[in-house]
Structure 1
Amino acid sequence: MYLFIFTILLVVFQYVNSKNIIESYDDKYERSQEKHLVYEDTISNLRDQVLSLSEFKLDQTEAALTYFEDRGFDVSDLIPFIKDEIYELNLIGGEEHPLIPYASMTGGKMLINSIRLLNHKWIIANFSDGRYWGELFMTYEVTEDEELKFKVIESFLYPTQ
């Protein structure tokens, strides 16, 4: 009789313990599925942002790449060349930058910080003197002698607060 009662108690204990373990695993699984859905949404949003950011980018625009390739330029070398030429204008002596139509108001020099080549004709860049900053929109042309010509179309300086 004692053996029978002990066996029943053991079986009940095993049943309750197994049930708790299974419920715990089910809860963990459901939480991981919820996290997985959140991560999938985040990844999807990030992919959309990457696609959106690559819309106006020279190395992602097939027509602009074809334009340069038809003229005999290697685009993988041309993009860094164009950016380097603009950044080298930061090194020109004097207080005024050749492309930035604003003089520095802090005693420094306005310098171009970042550049984005939109296509085979347009560039957008931002500039700053450390306190004041703005953006400019310009066109560029690569001549037959592989020289660059820049023309600032529009620019603005952000107001300080």
Structure 2
Amino acid sequence: MKKSLMLYLFILAILMNVFTYSFYSGEVKFGQERYDKTTKKLRDSISLMKNKLAEADYFSLEHNENAQNYFDNSASGGKVILYEKLIPVVTEKLLDFNSNPKGNPYTGQDQIGPNKFIINKVKILNHRWIIADYSNGELWGEVLLKYFVDNDDNITFEINQTWLYQK
């Protein structure tokens, strides 16, 4: 009886080891497959976001080589303007007009009520055009501006078109 009990325990131990081995090997395989699927989804999402960002930045001075070359006047004897340094300078200069008591004159809007119109966000599209978002806290609009940089590094702006959204 003792021998048969030992035989049953031995068989039971072997079965437990086989089932345990198959369970854990399946769990590792399942975990690896889940990791691979998640990684693939994340890579696809990152790739999709990179493509969307590249599409959104198509109209920007940072990614327009022809517009960047406009500021390289060294061939004609002029001076070189680095677009990386120009972008923050132009943006800051345009936003400095927000301190005007009547509001930013480059919104193309006169003050309506007690609040003045100020520019909130600026995007430099190329060597000539800027698009900006403005508001007075109640009304919102957008403006398309021309900008010019002369040889003395003076920056001037000109309103091309403005749009004020209705409430």
TM-score (norm 2): 0.87
C-alpha distance in 1 between matches for 2:150 and 2:7: 99
Give how far 1:6 is off.
2.1
Unpaired runs of 5+ residues, structure 2, are: 74-78
* Contact residue 106 and residue 131 of structure 1 kept, 8 A: no
C-alpha offsets along residues 75-97 of structure 1, whole Å, 9 cap, x if unaligned?
A: 2222111111101111123x243
Matched, 1:116 2:123: yes
C-alpha distance in 1 between matches for 2:152 and 2:27: 72
Unpaired runs of 5+ residues, structure 1, are: none
Indicate how the Cα distance of structure 1 residues 12 and 96 shifts in structure 2: closer, same or farther if over 3 A, else same.
closer
1:66-85 alignment to 2 at 5 Å? 66-70=69-73, 71-85=79-93
Which residue of the other structure, out of 28, 45, 50, is the alignment partner of 2:31? 28
* Contact residue 106 and residue 129 of structure 1 kept, 8 A: no
Matched, 1:143 2:150: yes
Which residue of the other structure, out of 9, 24, 45, is the alignment partner of 2:48? 45
- In structure 2, the residue matched to 1:86 is 94
Indicate how the Cα distance of structure 1 residues 128 and 30 shifts in structure 2: closer, same or farther if over 3 A, else same.
same
C-alpha offsets along residues 33-89 of structure 1, whole Å, 9 cap, x if unaligned?
A: 221222122111111112112211112211111111224212222211111110111
TM-score (norm 1): 0.90
Identity of aligned residues (%): 25
C-alpha offsets along residues 108-138 of structure 1, whole Å, 9 cap, x if unaligned?
A: 1100011111000110000011111110101
SS in 2 for 1:69: coil
How much is the aligned-residue C-alpha RMSD, in angstroms?
Answer: 1.6
* Contact residue 137 and residue 152 of structure 1 kept, 8 A: yes
C-alpha distance in 1 between matches for 2:13 and 2:152: 92
* Contact residue 146 and residue 157 of structure 2 kept, 8 A: yes
* Contact residue 148 and residue 157 of structure 2 kept, 8 A: yes
C-alpha distance in 2 between matches for 1:104 and 1:36: 53
C-alpha distance in 1 between matches for 2:45 and 2:132: 29
C-alpha distance in 1 between matches for 2:34 and 2:113: 55
* Contact residue 100 and residue 110 of structure 1 kept, 8 A: yes
